[in-house]
Chains A and B, each alone.
Chain A
Amino acid sequence: MSRASEPAAGHERATAAKIGELKHAPPQTFLRKHVFSVDHKVIGKQYLDLALVAVGTGMVLSWLMRFHLAWPETPIAGLGKLAPNGAAGGVITPEYYLQLMTMHGTIMVFFVLTTAPFAGFGNYFLPIQVGAEDMAFPRINMMSFWVTLVAFLVLVASLFVAEGPALSGWTAYAPLSAVGKDAGPGQGLGQTLWAVSITLFCVAQLLGSLNFITTTLDLRTKGMSLVRMPFSTWAWFITSVIGLIAFAVLMPACILLILDRVAGTSFFIPAGLVISDRLQPHAGGSPLLWQHLFWFFGHPEVYIAILPGFGIVSHILPVFARKPLLGPRVLIGCLISIAFLSYTVWGHHMFLSGMNPFSATLFSVPTLVITIPATIVTLLWIGTIYGAKLRFTTPALFCLGFVSVFVSGGISGFFLAQPSIDTYLHATYFVVAHFHFVMGVAAMFGIFAATYFWAPKMFGRMMNETLGKWHFWLTFIGVYCVFMPMHYLGLAGNVRRYSAFTDDYLKPMIPLHRFITIAALFTGAAQLIFLYNLIRTRLWGPRAPDNPWEATSLEWSTTSPPPHDNFGGHPPVVYHGPNEYGGPGAGTDYVMQASPGER
C-alpha cells in the first residue's frame, strides 16, 4: 500500500509541456474574472450557485404542494398576489397544483440533481484531481454554463405566463404535452417554454459531457494513470459518458415535441383525438414513442444524478475512515456495469403503458440485475467502515447518511422492478417514496457531503462544524419522517399526482399526509441552517489550511483556494493511487498522490 512507484508509463501525452500549451493568462477585469470566466473553478461555482437558487425554488414549490395536500381549503398568505390565476385568495387550484408539481420535478431533476453533483462539483474538481490546468475546452465550458442558465430562466419565465407553466409533469407525456391549448391550462405557451428549456439544457449537458470526457482522457498529468484517478473523477467520467448518450436522445425528442406543438407535425399524436370537443388535426403519431424516448433518457438520468454521489462518498469515506476504500477496482467495475445496465431498463417505467406485455419481463430482469452492482457498492462502503478509525465530521456524517438513505431507496426498487407488483404499486406514493429516497435525498446527501468537504478548498474557508452537525441531524431524521410514510400510503393504494384526496378510500389517509407535510416544513426549515452556514463561511469563515482533512488527492496538494492555473505553474507529478490511507505508527497515516517516494 505504501509502495511508491514510478509515474505510470503511457501518459506522456499529458506532460507539463502539453499542459503549458493550454495555459491562459489570468483574467484582469471583474467581468472576465467572476462573470464570463473560462476558469473551470469559477464555472463550477456558478453551477453550484445556480443549483442553490434552483433547489430553494424547488423546495418552496414542494412546501406549497405539501401544504395544499394537508389543508386544501386553507389560504396561503401572499400566494394570491403572486399567482392571481393559480391561487386566487391564496387557495391553490387543481391545475396550479399540477403546475407547481411539474416545475418542482423539472427544476429538481435537471437544475439541481444534474447541475450540482455533476456539472458543479465535477467542473471544479475533475480538472484539479487529474492534475490539469483547466477543462479541455474552456470556452465551450463557459458556454455550457450560460446555456444552462438561459434554460433555467426560460423555465422560470414560464411560471409567469398568462395560463401558467406546464402541468404535464416532469415526464411531459404526450399527447397531453403535445396537443396545445385544447388540453387545458398550462398546455399553451407554458408547455412550449418547458420543451425549449429542456432542449437548451440538453445542449449544455452534451457539451459539458464532451468536455469532461476529453479532459479525463487527454489532460491527466504525469503519473495519473486511469487506476490512480480518484473515485470521484471516475464517477464524473462515467456519468459524462452516460450523459452523452442520454441527453443526445432527449434533445431530439424535445425538438419533435416542439414541432408537434408549433409546426403541426404528429410525431406523438395519433389520429382521431377529440379534445375539448374538437377533432384534432393530427394523424400517425405514437404516444408510446414519446415514452420510449423520454425514458431512454429518463432512467440513465437517475444514474446521472446518483453516480456522482457514489463517487463523492467513495472519495470522502476513506478520508474520514482513515483506511483505504475496500475493493477500489470492484467499485469501478460496478460503476461501469451500472452505467451499461442503465440503458437496458427504461421499459420498467412502462410496464402498464400499453406496450407489449411480453417486454415487461425483458425489462424487469436487467432492472433486478442492476441491484447486484448496487448492493456490492453498498457493501464496499459498509466494509470500509468496519475496523476504521472514523472521524465524525459533518462530511463524514453525510456520507454515512448517504449510505443509509441509499439503502432505503434502493430496497423499494426490488418491488417496483417486478411487473406483477408494479401492477398494484405503479403511480402510487410508493413510487414517490422510492425515487425521492434513491435519487433525491441520496443525491442531496452527496451534495451536502461534497459541500462540507470541499468548501475549504473552494472558498479557502472552513464551514462551521456545529451548525453542520445540527443540519445533518435535523435533515437525517427529517427525511425519514417525510419519505418513509409514503411507502405506507403507496401500499394502501394512495395515488400520486392528485391535488386533493376526494376519493372515499383516500380520505382516511389525509392525517398521514398532514404528518408528512409538517415533517417536510421542518426539514425544509432546517436547510436554512445550511444556507446560513454557507453564506457565513464564504464571507467570514476561518481560513482553511491547504489540506485540512489529511486527504491524498491532488486538490489537497495545492493552495486553498487554488490559484488560477490550479498548481501555480507547476503541474503535479503523481506517484500513488488516491486510496493510500491507514498506515501504521504515530506519524501521518496517509500518502498524498503527489508525494514522491515512500511515506
Chain B
Amino acid sequence: MGKLFAVVLTVITLVSTAIFVAHTWLPVDISAHGHAIDHQLSETMTSAGVLFVVSQLALALFAWQYGDRKDGRAVKTFPGGVTPMVVLAVVLVGAEVLALTFVGSKVWAGIYQSPADPNSLQVDVQAEQFAFYFRYAGADGRFGAVHLERIDEGSGNFFGLDPANDSSARDDIVVPSLAVPVNRPVLLTMRAKDVNHAFYVPELRIQQDFVPGLVIPLHFTATQIGKHEIVCTQLCGLGHYNMRAYVEVMSQDQFDQWLKEKAAEQ
C-alpha cells in the first residue's frame, strides 16, 4: 500500500509540474511594468516549485520505504533530530521570504506607491452595475465636476455632469470603451457609482478595486498596440460575469483621430 501511495503521489507531482512547465499559461504582457511582475512570478514559481516537488517526493519516498514489514526491526529517528530541521527551515524559508519581499515590494511600489508621470493622459473611470464608462477631459484639458444627484442613465449622464452651468463639463468626452496611446503613461481616476467593482486587464498585468466613496488613482503604460478585454473582478451583482469593456492601445496619431471623432459624437 505504501508503494502504491508513493507511485500515485509521484505521478501526480510530476504530471502537475510538467503541465506548469510545458505550457505558457500567462497571456502576452503589453505593459511597461509587466515584465517585473512576470519575473517575480517566475522566480516564485521556481523556488515554490522546487519546494513542492522535493516535499511531495520525500513523502512518497518515505511511504515507499518505511511500511511495517513486521520484521521486528526498530524504528529510526530522523538523522540529527529536530533541531537541524528547524534551523534549515528557518534559514531557507526565511531567506526566501526576505528575498521575495525585497524584490517584490519594489515591484509593487513601482506600480502602486509611485506618483503618476505628470504628463500622463488622465482618464476618469466610472464603474457601475454592469458597465464601465470612461471620460476624457476634452479640448480644455479640464474635467467637469461630478454631481452624484445628476447621474441619469436614461439621458446618458453617467458621470452626473452639469454642462449648463459648468463650462469645463461641456467638452468632456464620455465613452464606453477605453482608448490609450501606446507608450504614453495613463492615469486612471477610478470611481464607483453603486457597489464595489474592479478593473482587470490580464495583458496589462494590472488590477484595482473600485470602491464607492473613494477616488482611486491607477497608472500604467501600454507598450503594444492591440485590443484587450477589461473585466470586473469584484462581485457586483447578477451581471458581474458580463461586466466588461475594451482597452484599445493605438498609435498617438490614431488616438488623436479617435478622440476627435468621439468629441464630435458627444
Q: Which residues of A contact B (CB under 8 A)?
A: 93-95, 98, 167-169, 173, 175-176, 179, 183-187, 269-275, 277, 279, 285-288, 321-323, 326-327, 330, 352-354, 357-358, 360-361, 364-365, 368-369, 371-372, 375-376, 378-380, 382-392, 397, 400, 403-404, 407-408, 411-412, 414-415, 418-421, 423-424, 426-428, 469, 473, 476-477, 480, 484-485, 487-488, 491-493, 495-505, 581-582, 584, 586
Contact = CB atoms under 8 A, between A and B. Distances in A.
20 contacts: A94-B239, A98-B238, A176-B235, A184-B129, A327-B82, A361-B105, A365-B97, A368-B101, A384-B78, A389-B68, A404-B12, A411-B52, A420-B40, A420-B105, A424-B205, A426-B233, A427-B207, A488-B23, A499-B241, A503-B229
Contact of B97 (A275, A371, A424, A495): A371
A382 B104 contact: no
Contacts of B59: 382, 385, 400, 403-404, 407
A372 B97 contact: yes
Given A361-B108, A423-B205, 6 more contacts: A183-B129, A275-B129, A400-B5, A418-B100, A420-B108, A423-B207
A591 to B, nearest CB: 14
Contacts of B231: 495, 503
Interface stretch (B136-144, B193-201, B251-259): B193-201
A352 B241 contact: no
B82 A275 contact: no
B164 interface: no
Nearest to A378: B55
A500 B241 contact: yes
Contacts of A492: 25-27, 202
A581 B69 CA distance: 17
B108 A357 contact: yes
Given A327-B86, A357-B108, A387-B75, A94 B241 contact: yes
B37 A480 contact: no
A495 B230 CA distance: 11
Interface in B143-158: 148-149, 151-154
B101 A365 contact: yes
B151 to A, nearest CB: 5
B59 to A, nearest CB: 6
B82 A383 contact: yes
Interface stretch (B116-124, B176-184, B211-219): B211-219
A326 B55 contact: no
Given A275-B195, A376-B89, A383-B85, A368 B100 contact: yes
Nearest to A484: B16
A371 B41 contact: no
Given A279-B148, A385-B63, A421-B44, A503 B75 contact: no
Contacts of A352: 198, 207-209
Contacts of A382: 55, 58-59, 62
Contacts of A173: 195-196, 234-235
A423 B111 contact: yes
B104 A375 contact: no
A364 B208 contact: no
A391 B66 CA distance: 9
B264 interface: no
Contact of A391 (B68, B89, B129, B236): B68
Contacts of A386: 62, 66, 76, 78
Interface of B: 1-2, 5, 8-9, 12, 16, 19-20, 23, 25-27, 36-37, 40-41, 44-45, 47-48, 51-52, 55-56, 58-59, 62-63, 66-69, 72-78, 81-82, 85-86, 89-90, 93-94, 97, 100-101, 104-105, 107-109, 111-113, 128-129, 148-149, 151-154, 193-196, 198, 200, 202, 205-214, 216, 228-229, 231, 233-242, 244
B134 to A, nearest CB: 18
A423 B108 contact: yes
Nearest to A360: B108
A404 B239 CA distance: 38
Nearest to A469: B1
A375 to B, nearest CB: 5
A147 to B, nearest CB: 29
Contact of B82 (A270, A380, A408): A380
Nearest to A368: B97
Contact of B214 (A168, A277, A354, A358): A354
B211 A287 contact: yes
A287 B37 CA distance: 28
Nearest to B76: A387
B127 to A, nearest CB: 12
Contacts of A423: 37, 108, 111-112, 205-207
Contacts of A323: 75, 77
Nearest to B205: A424
A581 B75 CA distance: 9
Given A287-B213, A330-B82, A414 B234 contact: no
B209 A354 contact: yes
A499 to B, nearest CB: 5
B41 A424 contact: yes
B208 to A, nearest CB: 6
Nearest to B232: A495
Contacts of A375: 89, 93
B85 A392 contact: no
Given A288-B211, A353-B209, A504 B229 contact: yes
Contact of A364 (B19, B23, B37, B101): B101
Contact of B93 (A365, A371, A392): A371
B6 to A, nearest CB: 10
Nearest to B160: A274
A477 B48 CA distance: 22
Given A175-B196, A495-B233, A387 B56 contact: no
Given A184-B238, A407-B52, A495-B233, A390 B2 contact: yes
Contacts of B151: 274
B100 A502 contact: no
Given A184-B129, A322-B75, A379 B25 contact: no
A382 B59 CA distance: 6
B44 A418 contact: yes
Contact of B202 (A326, A505, A581): A505
